[in-house]
Structure 1
Amino acid sequence: MRTVAEHRAVVAALLPRSAAATDLPLTEAAGRPLAADLVAGRALPAFDNSAMDGYAVRAHDVAAASEDEPVTLPVAADIPAGRTDTPPLDPGTAHRIMTGSPLPVGADAIVPVEDTAPLGGPAPGTPPANAVPGRVAIRRAPTAGRHIRRAGSDVTPGTVVLEAGAALGAAQLGLLSALGAPHATVVPPLKVLVLSTGSELVEPGRDLLPGQIHESNGIMLAAAAREAGAVAEQAHFVADDADAFLSVLRSADADLVITSGGVSMGAYEVVKDALAGRGVEFVRVAMQPGKPQGAGIVDGTPVVTLPGNPVSSLVSFEVFVRPALRAAMGYRDTERPRRRAVLSEPLVAPAGKTQFRRGVFDRDAGTVTTVGPPGSHHLRWMAASNCLLEIAADTTALDAGAEVTVRDLTV
């Protein structure tokens, strides 16, 4: 049998990294990976500015200020956020200033409004109204540089602020916007077509006849592909007929076709019947669940064939398809995070096979508990899990308290 690592390499080779790049408005770029390093073209902040609402002063003018003996200064100007004609600060005066407003030339400290008492305006200790007070009492002496955000203290021009492959989330998009970028250069998503095979499959919402089941793999695998960053569609549904299956496959407009079912050793294995000898190699992989697998290229289109049991299908996607798909789309983080956890119970595993057990990982306690039996049809327990325990092929038993590796499915 092929090892898990060997089959991962085969699937990864089907999907070389995409060289495509496209510019998207920031409002449409969420979740996409950057196509190249992002180099800042300007400083952040762009200018020295106030970190507080208060008064811009020269520190030595108010060095003697205290609660008992405040220093009183005339307020010469008002600097709200957005003012572009900031007047310089003359010695012995103060400017009222708002958070984010440009620091006036001559000022080297900000006195927060709560450390002042505007005179001839609001009551001491309360924020001033829009009217500029004639004078202000400084009740606490600031040190030079206090409450000032210096230009370039966050980002200097020429700095690589995001590396290629970084997924654009809320913070990354905020950074792009702050740097003045109206769009992002990203790798576009690959198109995935999911084909579920089986004459027994019935669309959810329809009544079942004896021997029929509601189809679940298609919606599940398409959702998994979208979660990985791809664009995914489903074909409803492909009956156990090789010619019908090939007709759907050949009409596919996709970068990757994923099939589920029809790859085992039975008499009606439509995927195997249709694709054997046409570019797809069908193998057994030393893992549980998910032993029957297939991969290859059919008429120029990469095809990965997954087993039909739902847990086998989704576990196989996680182990083989997801990392290959994300790597092809240029994501820097292609794998689920691996965590070390303490096993809360003993377990046994089959000799010679890598086993993937469903589990609940308690991040706070650092423990993991298996959920449900290991069978490949127990979808309920797959839905109840937040991780996969990866048990090495040479391990047949683990005691409670043993350290294990889990794949965190929440990230």
Structure 2
Amino acid sequence: MTESLHTLTAMPTARQSGCPFDPPKELIEAREHGPISRFPFPSGHQGWLVTGYDLVRSVLADQRFSSRKELMLHHPLVDYGDIEVPPAPPGEFLLMDEPQHSRYRKPLVGKFTVRRMRLLTERVEQITADHLDAMDKAGPTADLVTAFAKPIPSIVICELLGVPYEDRGRFQENIDTFLGGEVSDEELIAAYLATQEYLAELVAAKRANPTDDVLSDLLDSDLTDEELKGIALILLAAGFDTTANMLALGTFALLRNPDQLAALRTDPALTDQAVEELLRYLSVAKQFHRVALEDVELGGHTIEAGTTVILSLNTANRDPERFPDPHTLDLRRQNGGHLAFSHGIHQCLGQQLARVELRVALPALINRFPTLRLAVPAEEVSLRPETADIYGVKSLPVTWDA
């Protein structure tokens, strides 16, 4: 171990004033010292923080690093003491390794192909147009989060899974509660259990009366109702929260970079490239944790078996060795390969769905309202805390010329 090895003594919980899109400065500084740092957890566990692109990507692809829930004993912000962490419930495959992970993911792969997601484009266009019409009618001011960013992915994922439209509000509220990072542990657990209870009812309803949706398609497999409930929870949460925050935060970023906004508005051919750059630049899924199953050499250091490693995706996607001038939003950037959807066996199953929604909704919004702008000073925009699993804005007041 080299003497110059950097140590980050505490996980930052705030972003720099005036820089809502950049990672916390302490993480940027850690990356400047090198791609890997020591990180002492509040529990006293001596772990690691990986901030460089190449090393983060290699860990995500290395099955010697586990994502099993029962191994996640150390939290970067809180010392929970000697608690026993149970394994992930059946079906919640993001917190599992092989072969359990593939048992749940494999039946879903064909449901989220590029081709199948592109077939959804027309429906996404209609949902987007409906909400833009409603904004226009109610305007010329709106909270873009509640009027646009949340409803679009919520409706799409609910329709894919067969969640009745009238239940969407109930689902969205509970998902907001246990992913928002701003409630007590009791409230979080209550929202999680309420969502599980609802999904159990949904699976039972599909058993009794299958419909044309992904959840009903899985009824012919050997998956149990408990497993189907867990799979549905993962898909609902991931299919809604990440995209909703990308839509709102992405709009905020474009409004704060008017030259880039103008480029996207005037050049429709730029859309796909622009979406990839926004995904890289914002990295709303900020970090993942892994635990070494055996001693592993990483970046010239030995990660001992049982050690927890924090993977900082937002600094990896801002690594100057991979992305020149990484802190600049450049919609014409040619460098692909960002890690916004993770990498390896846990790479986001719904990434093509998210791309379709972003490619449709963002251009539709900025073209429908050519004078779209913030209705409050940028520093007054309410941001999600760093404690939330997914970064974003809590509300985004906007206005336009009627």
Greater strand share, structure number: 1
TM bracket, shorter-chain basis: under 0.3
Output the TM-score relative to the length of structure 1: 0.22
Q: TM-score, normalised by structure 2?
A: 0.22
Q: Which one has the largest radius of gyration?
A: 1
**Whose helix proportion is higher, 1 or 2?**
2
